[in-house]
């Protein structure tokens, strides 16, 4: 086994080195977007809350051929983990954090505990003077570093670390392509603390080899509202995975959060650690079928041709609703609509006007649509579109998308895989009496998110991903999303609450409606 010093020398000498299969066997567990090494297996079929029963394999009548072929095309897609929304099935990582004793020492519900009698904190808050004042010790040859995301050089260091070590598929052929603009948007919401952007460097050459981030948010869990931190982007250089840096990174960012008087956190993982409050499943909607076939993300199933597959996944050229990009004048109306709509769900972010402006307006790039490529502005990260009542000028509906591409390492024809993710949305149809029960809400949401697919397609995105949260569950099948094999577990730090409805109904709450937080 290589010594620690020899591994450090490798890192010093091979900054951009392609790692061998043996080096990348053990995937890094991230607080938000873990990956897992797995074979290229078919996406397993799954039934959502609104799904009809599957037909048996075998011959299909001509009347049912189209629907059956679409189902097969979606359910048999071999989309890699990178396209599948950055997640693996919980508990299957070779070295997941559930195997460590670390979480038994933390204020989190432990596996096997029954549901809490009341919602609330596990450990009380502390005054600042009782919080540890000194950083936690690191192994020899490493040192702490606070990353300044405003500094282009340091921003690129984070970009390089994440791009080369964060999430990739098992063949090291696909890596997330985090832009400087994406990191600015994700890591600098209103009221962020630069001290929560925690790095670890090699002392001798100052190379960044680990990173974890936190950003503040106001969270409502059922009836209680509190300030929390959203922990994300836990990433450790592949050659240092055996050094057990993850627990000390988590403790150090927790210490920094505590110094600001905040004692709760939300985070997600593809692995199961103590103890998930909910789990959601990834679904995927192919947009550019030809490209997905060419780069090996999907194949043509039996009873299907490539031409038919393309035709059946075609989206309209123009939206159904009179949607337009969000503008500054819409922020107040969108904030009101968002706040009212999110009351439908049990765990949601509570956004100020500044939060709404940042989340839905700040990432739309510069210039005109088309300046940054077809359907895009320059440096565009998010697409937020609104529907405006022409008489009252109030915003009646909106949807948002964020864009996170991946580099395709070995394709001679295509360099980038363009993936979009369904972010937040709302419609005032939800406030009409009986709209949920009689199907009016479902119909409106299908039209609204169908228009999101149109916008994503106009921006030349290749695949569109969504989770089984909010009101997504009853939309996915009709909009031709296919179930993936990625699951995302949601966690709260220092807070107890009963399980929230995500993938399945919980305590009379419909699937998805327990979770209203979309983690990047």
CB–CB of 285/480 below 8 Å? yes
Mean of per-residue pLDDT scores for the chain: 84
- Listed in sequence order, the residues at least 6 apart from 314 whose beta carbon sits closer than 8 Å to its beta carbon are none
Nearest to 425 by CA among 387, 480, 476: 387
* 37-46, 76-85, 185-194, 308-317: range with lowest mean pLDDT: 37-46
Q: Which pLDDT score, from 0 to 100, does residue 114 have? A: 84
Q: Which pLDDT score, from 0 to 100, does residue 171 have? A: 54
Name the 3-class secondary structure at 386: strand
* 173-177, 250-254, 379-383, 400-404: range with lowest mean pLDDT: 173-177
Confidence of residue 163 (pLDDT cuts 50, 70, 90): confident
- Residue 318, CB half-sphere, CA atoms under 13 Å: how many? 4
pLDDT digits (tens, 9 = 90+) for 130-140: 999 999 999 99
Q: Which pLDDT score, from 0 to 100, does residue 296 have? A: 77
* 68-82, 174-188, 236-250, 460-474: range with lowest mean pLDDT: 68-82
Confidence of residue 59 (pLDDT cuts 50, 70, 90): very low
Q: Which pLDDT score, from 0 to 100, does residue 172 have? A: 58
The Cα 165–Cα 208 span in angstroms is 12
Q: Which pLDDT score, from 0 to 100, does residue 94 have? A: 34
- Confidence check: pLDDT of 40 > 80: no
Q: What is the pTM of this model?
A: 0.83
Around Cβ 61, how many Cβ atoms within 10 Å? Answer: 8
Cα distances from 18 to residues 10, 358, 360, in angstroms, run 12, 36, 36
| Position with higher pLDDT, 409 vs 419 | 419
The Cα 192–Cα 217 span in angstroms is 9
* 50-59, 367-376, 459-468: range with lowest mean pLDDT: 50-59
| Position with higher pLDDT, 242 vs 226 | 226
- Confidence check: pLDDT of 96 > 50: no
Q: Domain 24-36+83-278 has what CATH class?
A: alpha beta
Confidence of residue 100 (pLDDT cuts 50, 70, 90): low
The Cα 211–Cα 252 span in angstroms is 11
Q: Which of 245, 337, 461, 520 is catalytic?
A: 520
The CATH number fitting domain 283-484, selected from 3.30.1330.30, 3.40.630.30, 3.40.50.150, 3.40.30.10: 3.40.630.30
Is 293 an annotated catalytic residue?
no
pLDDT digits (tens, 9 = 90+) for 204-215: 999 999 999 999
Q: Which pLDDT score, from 0 to 100, does residue 170 have? A: 52
- Listed in sequence order, the residues at least 6 apart from 316 whose beta carbon sits closer than 8 Å to its beta carbon are 450, 454
Most confident of the ranges 16-20, 142-146, 271-275, 302-306: 142-146
- Confidence check: pLDDT of 251 > 80: yes
| Position with higher pLDDT, 46 vs 516 | 516
What percentage of the chain reaches a pLDDT higher than 90?
A: 68
- Confidence check: pLDDT of 366 > 70: yes
Q: Which pLDDT score, from 0 to 100, does residue 11 have? A: 45
Give the sign of the dihedral formed by CA 464, CA 470, CA 471, CA 477.
Answer: positive
- Confidence check: pLDDT of 95 > 60: no
Q: φ and ψ at 215, to 5 degrees?
A: -135, 150
DSSP 8-state class, residue 149: T
- Confidence check: pLDDT of 218 > 90: yes
- Listed in sequence order, the residues at least 6 apart from 350 whose beta carbon sits closer than 8 Å to its beta carbon are 217, 218, 219, 220, 225, 339
Query: Residues 22, 26, 27, CA angle at the centre, nearest 5°?
Result: 125
What percentage of the chain reaches a pLDDT higher than 70?
A: 79
- Residue 292, CB half-sphere, CA atoms under 13 Å: how many? 31
Tell me the average pLDDT across 103-122. 90
Q: Which pLDDT score, from 0 to 100, does residue 108 have? A: 94
Confidence of residue 381 (pLDDT cuts 50, 70, 90): very high
Confidence of residue 166 (pLDDT cuts 50, 70, 90): confident
- Confidence check: pLDDT of 14 > 60: no
List every span in the chain annotated with CATH 3.40.630.30.
24-36+83-278, 283-484
Q: Which pLDDT score, from 0 to 100, does residue 243 have? A: 87
Query: Residues 221, 226, 227, CA angle at the centre, nearest 5°?
Result: 125
Got the DSSP string for 173-226? Answer: -EEE---HHHHHHHH--TT--GGGEEEEEETTT--EEEEEEEEEEEEEETTEEE
CB–CB of 155/7 below 8 Å? no
* Strand residues in 404-456 grouped as ranges (E): 406-408, 416-417, 419-427
Confidence of residue 478 (pLDDT cuts 50, 70, 90): very high
């Amino acid at each position: 086994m290589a010594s620690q010093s020899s591994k450090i020398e490798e890192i010093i000498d091979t900054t951009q080195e392609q790692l061998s299969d043996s080096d990348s066997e053990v995937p890094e567990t991230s607080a938000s977007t873990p990956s897992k090494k797995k074979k290229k297996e078919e996406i397993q079929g799954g039934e959502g809350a609104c799904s009809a029963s599957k037909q048996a394999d075998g011959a299909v009548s001509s009347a049912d051929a189209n629907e059956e072929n679409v189902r097969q095309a979606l359910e048999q897609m071999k989309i890699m983990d990178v396209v599948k929304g950055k997640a693996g099935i919980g508990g299957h990582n070779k070295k997941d954090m559930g195997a460590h004793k670390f979480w038994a020492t933390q204020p989190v519900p432990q596996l096997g505990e029954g549901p809490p009698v009341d919602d609330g904190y596990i450990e009380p808050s502390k005054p600042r003077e009782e919080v540890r004042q000194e950083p936690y010790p690191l192994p020899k040859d490493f040192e702490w570093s606070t990353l300044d995301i405003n500094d282009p050089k340091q921003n690129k260091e984070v970009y390089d670390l994440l791009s080369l070590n964060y999430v990739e598929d098992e063949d090291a052929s696909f890596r997330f392509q985090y832009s400087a603009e994406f990191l600015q948007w994700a890591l600098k919401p209103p009221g962020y603390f630069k001290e929560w952007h925690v790095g670890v460097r090699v002392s001798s050459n100052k190379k960044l080899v680990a990173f974890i981030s936190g950003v503040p948010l106001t969270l409502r869990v059922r009836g209680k509202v509190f300030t929390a931190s959203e922990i994300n982007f836990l990433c450790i250089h592949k050659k240092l995975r055996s050094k057990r840096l993850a627990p000390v990174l988590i403790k150090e960012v927790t210490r920094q959060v505590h110094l600001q008087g905040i004692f709760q956190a939300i985070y997600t993982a593809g692995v199961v650690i103590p103890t998930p409050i909910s789990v959601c499943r990834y679904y995927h909607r192919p947009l550019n079928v030809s490209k997905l076939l060419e780069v090996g993300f999907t194949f043509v199933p039996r009873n299907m041709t490539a031409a038919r597959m393309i035709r059946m996944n075609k989206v309209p050229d123009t939206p159904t609703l009179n949607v337009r990009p969000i503008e500054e004048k819409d922020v107040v109306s969108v904030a009101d609509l968002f706040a009212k709509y999110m009351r439908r769900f049990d765990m949601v972010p509570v956004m100020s006007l500044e939060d709404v402006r940042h989340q839905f307006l700040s990432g739309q790039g510069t210039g005109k649509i088309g300046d940054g490529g077809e359907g895009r502005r320059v440096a565009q990260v998010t697409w937020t579109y609104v529907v405006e009542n022409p008489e009252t000028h109030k915003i009646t509906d909106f949807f948002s998308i964020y864009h996170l591409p991946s580099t395709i390492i070995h394709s001679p024809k295509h360099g980038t895989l363009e993936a979009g993710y369904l972010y937040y949305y709302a419609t005032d149809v939800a406030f009409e009496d009986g709209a949920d029960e009689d199907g009016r809400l479902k119909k409106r949401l299908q039209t609204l998110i169908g228009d999101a697919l149109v916008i994503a397609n106009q921006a030349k995105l290749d695949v569109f991903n969504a989770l089984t949260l909010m009101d997504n569950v009853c939309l996915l099948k009709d909009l031709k999303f296919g179930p993936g094999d990625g699951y995302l577990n949601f966690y709260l730090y220092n807070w107890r609450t009963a399980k929230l409805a995500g993938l399945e109904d919980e305590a009379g709450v419909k699937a998805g409606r327990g979770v209203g937080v979309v983690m990047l």
